[in-house]
Amino acid sequence: MATEPGAVVVSGTSTGIGEAIALHLAEQGFEVFAGVRREGDGEALREKADVTPLILEVTDELSVLAAADLVTRAVGERGLAGLVNNAGVAIPAPIEFQPLADFRRQLEVNLIGHVAVTQAFLPLIRKGGGRIVNIGSVGGLLVLPLNGAYSASKFGMEALSDALRLELREWGIHVSHVDVGPVHSAIFGKTYAQLDGLKTTLGDHGHGLYVGQIAAVRSATEKAEATADPPDVIARAVLEALTASNPHTRYLAGHGVKGIAAAAKLPDRARDKALAKELGLPAPE
């Protein structure tokens, strides 16, 4: 290990990937400030491991600043060994009919919120000689229908990681990006509910237009859930990014992710044709 366990902030730790990251880092000796939106989630997490719950709503500037102040007072001159930007949300819908509030919500949580958190905690990263790990998604490499807003935010995270890596190299601050494949978490249940609720969201006309794509994406989601990895796979990649003497700039975490990354590099028409076949999308009229 090039970096000894120190203090680390992880956002979005209430469930799934974020929870697994917080618990794994705590087990490895890190002092974990686990970002949650509700006190109850923080208490539930603290019952599982020695972590410090941190109220952190990444879309609320005052919440972000308050969290940074609390951590600053707690770590003092030690600073931070790491910041893991993980919070995220997915709200599927065709762009033609998706409420702009839902589109904006995904950009605010999945991208802009991480910029706000990074800005707030970078002084502590500098002080502690720490690192930044951004949790991305295969949705930032390859776009599926009904997932345009989500992928827009995740493609943005790819750009954010690249920019930070170049900007912070002058001071030796490592920035790693983890592209995550399907992982067992509450997101599957939420996705099914949202897809099933599209008839209400889109109305009869909009739902009628996209019913074939909705069915195809739901079926693909079910297949992804059946072969999903445990979230510990991601937690281990984050640990390596925080501690390795020569961390990767990018981690492809989960089975099948390398294949998805390769498919993303196909020419546009070839990629579209392959995706349409794989998903069983309706043929052009």
Cα angle vertex 218, ends 213, 219, to 5°? 100
Structural domain includes residue 58: yes
What is the spatial distance between Cα 78 and Cα 209, in angstroms, rounded to a whole number?
Answer: 57
CATH number at residue 113: 3.40.50.720
Structural domain includes residue 99: yes
95: containing domain: 7-190+230-273
Structural domain includes residue 202: no
Q: Are 255 and 181 in contact (CB under 8 A)?
A: yes
* Residue 224: count of CB within 10 angstroms of its CB: 16
Q: Are 47 and 96 in contact (CB under 8 A)?
A: no
| pLDDT tens per residue, range 39-63 | 999 999 999 999 999 999 999 999 9
Q: Are 191 and 265 in contact (CB under 8 A)?
A: no
Task: Determine the average pLDDT of the residues in 234-238.
Answer: 97
Long-range Cβ contacts of 188-191 (<8 Å, 24+ apart) = 188/221, 188/224, 188/225, 188/228, 190/90, 191/90, 191/92, 191/221
What is the spatial distance between Cα 23 and Cα 32, in angstroms, rounded to a whole number?
Answer: 8
pLDDT of residue 3 exceeding 70, the answer is no
Give the catalytic positions in this structure. 150
Q: Are 221 and 188 in contact (CB under 8 A)?
A: yes
* Residue 130: count of CB within 10 angstroms of its CB: 24
**Tokens, residue 22:** 């917080």
Provide the β-strand partners of residue 83: 9, 132
Query: What region, left, alpha or beta, does residue 280 occupy, with left being phi > 0 and alpha being psi -120 to 50 degrees?
Result: left
pLDDT of residue 15 exceeding 80, the answer is yes
Residue-level pLDDT at 187: 84
Structural domain includes residue 203: no
Please state the domain count of the chain: 1
Comparing 61-65, 194-198, 254-258, the range with the smallest average pLDDT is: 254-258
Residue-level pLDDT at 115: 98
Closest CA to 159 of 104, 114, 100: 114
Residue-level pLDDT at 1: 45
pLDDT of residue 124 exceeding 90, the answer is yes
Report the percent of the chain where pLDDT is more than 90: 94
Residue-level pLDDT at 36: 97
**Assessment of whether the complete model's pTM goes beyond 0.75:** yes
Structural domain includes residue 196: no
Task: Determine the average pLDDT of the residues in 75-99.
Answer: 96
Structural domain includes residue 122: yes
What is the spatial distance between Cα 69 and Cα 87, in angstroms, rounded to a whole number?
Answer: 19
Structural domain includes residue 166: yes
Report the percent of the chain where pLDDT is more than 70: 99
* Cβ partners under 8 Å of residue 65, min gap 6: 120
Structural domain includes residue 24: yes
